[in-house]
Amino acid sequence: MKIVAGNSNPQIAEAIGAYLNIPLTKASVRRFSDQEVFVEVQENVRGEDVFVIQSTSYPANDHLMELLVIIDALRRASARRITAVLPYFGYARQDRKPGPRTPISAKLVANLITTAGADRVLTIDLHAGQIQGFFDIPTDNLYALPVLCRDIEERYQGQKLMIVSPDVGGVVRARQFAKRLKAPLAIIDKRRESANTSEVMNIIGDVSGHTCLMVDDIVDTAGTLCNAADALRQAGAEDVSAYVSHGVLSGGAVARLGASALKELVITDSIHATEAVRVSQRVRRISVAPLIAEAMNRISHETSVSSLFD
């Protein structure tokens, strides 16, 4: 078993290697002067089971290209099996045609990864579960829910919790949290007037006197979470925090969080943290490296991955 890391998130790759007690395979992933990606794997990988760890986060196109070139290099070096490990799968929000003459970019990226030579894919909390079907190779979609719920149980024991879905599309995910935590569920009905903007319209459920925990898979500009937090506080919620799998946090998201009614945003380390995220008092990160490492170990040894969530 070999582990190769791109440049998108070296910290999680090192944490996974430490958990498995496997040093990262020596590889050079660099740029020519015109920013073309060049990859050189500096160890023998012939006949090996190789895992490539690379989130396709900002800059998404550069990191995606790195992933494809690394996979091609490993395939040409005669690796026995190549598993693309994407803690965060970019382009997942473009999983359907919302209007005429628009792409389904998630399918395009799935085709690129397959064509490059990956034999299987391992990721966490896809934006839409049907993206698994976009791949013509085995795809394991892990869930951060057990890791996040464990943190909630430790920090909010004995409190009057309410799980909140920040939009109607996230109800299934929020219901899973509510069921595991034995907490009631509320839903925020919002109308999105344009991309990356949202307006809270109504709260379905009585949140008065509750500690509200919003759950979602991706937070980008944080506009939805901040608007929702304000609405929940106005509706009588005691405190409002959020648990989100992937902290994209682009633009002025961190500053927006600091000025909002949101007490805390908890994200995983699936995406490399910017300096603004690292120093923020409102953002806390928890690691999913042990979860990914355990799944990789089970894939390598041909044992059940789904039993991780039993």
- Tens of pLDDT, residue by residue over 77-117, are 999 999 999 999 999 999 999 889 999 999 999 999 999 99
Displacement of CA 5 from its chain's centroid (Å): 17
Q: Where is the domain boundary, 111, 142, 173?
A: 142
CA distance 49 to 184: 44
In terms of Cβ atoms closer than 10 Å to its own Cβ (0-12, 13-18, 19+), residue 127 is buried
What is the b/e burial string over 293-305, where b = at least 16 CB atoms within 10 angstroms of the residue's CB?
bbbbbbbbeeeeb
3-class secondary structure, 187: strand
Average pLDDT over residues 11-32: 96
Contact, 152 vs 201, CB < 8 A? no
| pLDDT 10s digits, 180-203 | 999 999 999 876 666 655 565 689
pTM: 0.92
CA distance 23 to 99: 47
- Same domain, residue pair 135 and 209: no
Q: Where are the alpha helices (DSSP H) in the chain?
A: 10-20, 60-76, 105-116, 145-155, 171-181, 223-234, 253-258, 275-279, 289-300
Where is the binding site for Mg(2+), in residues? Answer: 127, 167
- Same domain, residue pair 120 and 89: yes
pLDDT value for 121: 97
At 91, the amino acid letter reads Y
The share of the chain scoring above pLDDT 90, in percent, equals 87
Domain count, the chain: 2
| Residues recorded for the chain | 310
* Catalytic residue list contains 263: no
Residue 302 lies in a domain: no
- Same domain, residue pair 72 and 151: no
- Same domain, residue pair 81 and 187: no
Residue 49 lies in a domain: yes
Residue 52 lies in a domain: yes
- Same domain, residue pair 149 and 283: yes
- Same domain, residue pair 107 and 172: no
Residue 304 lies in a domain: no
CA distance 25 to 153: 37
Residue 280 Cα distances to 20, 168, 218, 289, angstroms: 31, 29, 18, 22
Average pLDDT over residues 264-280: 94
- Same domain, residue pair 221 and 104: no
Average pLDDT over residues 278-294: 95
Residue 299 lies in a domain: no
Average pLDDT over residues 57-69: 95
Residue 98 lies in a domain: yes
Q: Where is the domain boundary, 85, 120, 142?
A: 142
Where is the binding site for D-ribose 5-phosphate, in residues? Answer: 192, 216, 220-224
- What six digits make up the tokens of 194? 């344009």
Residue 309 lies in a domain: no
Where is the binding site, in residues? Answer: 34-36, 93-94, 127, 167, 192, 216, 220-224
pLDDT value for 285: 96
Domain region containing 179: 145-287
CA distance 209 to 206: 9
| pLDDT 10s digits, 189-241 | 876 666 655 565 689 999 999 999 999 999 999 988 998 999 999 999 999 99
Q: Tokens 């090192």 correspond to what residue?
A: 14
Residue 35: count of CB within 10 angstroms of its CB: 8
- Same domain, residue pair 172 and 71: no
What is the average pLDDT score of the chain? 93
- Same domain, residue pair 126 and 230: no
* CATH number of the domain encompassing residue 206: 3.40.50.2020
- Same domain, residue pair 13 and 101: yes
Displacement of CA 286 from its chain's centroid (Å): 12
Q: Where is the domain boundary, 142, 162, 190?
A: 142
Q: Tokens 């050079």 correspond to what residue?
A: 28
Residue 186 lies in a domain: yes
pLDDT value for 236: 93
Taking alpha carbons only, the member of 12, 90, 89, 20 closest to residue 49 is 20
- Same domain, residue pair 59 and 87: yes
Catalytic residue (one of 26, 107, 190, 263): 190
What phi, psi does 7 have (nearest 5°)?
-95, 0
The separation between the first and the last C-alpha atoms of the chain, rounded to the nearest angstrom, is 26
Helix axes 60-76, 105-116, angle to 10 degrees: 30
Q: Tokens 């789904």 correspond to what residue?
A: 306
| pLDDT 10s digits, 137-165 | 999 999 999 999 999 999 999 899 999 99
Residue 150's contacts (CB-CB under 8 Å, 6 or more residues apart) are none
CA atoms lying within 13 Å on the CB side of residue 207: 28
- Same domain, residue pair 277 and 264: yes
Where is the binding site for ATP, in residues? Answer: 34-36, 93-94
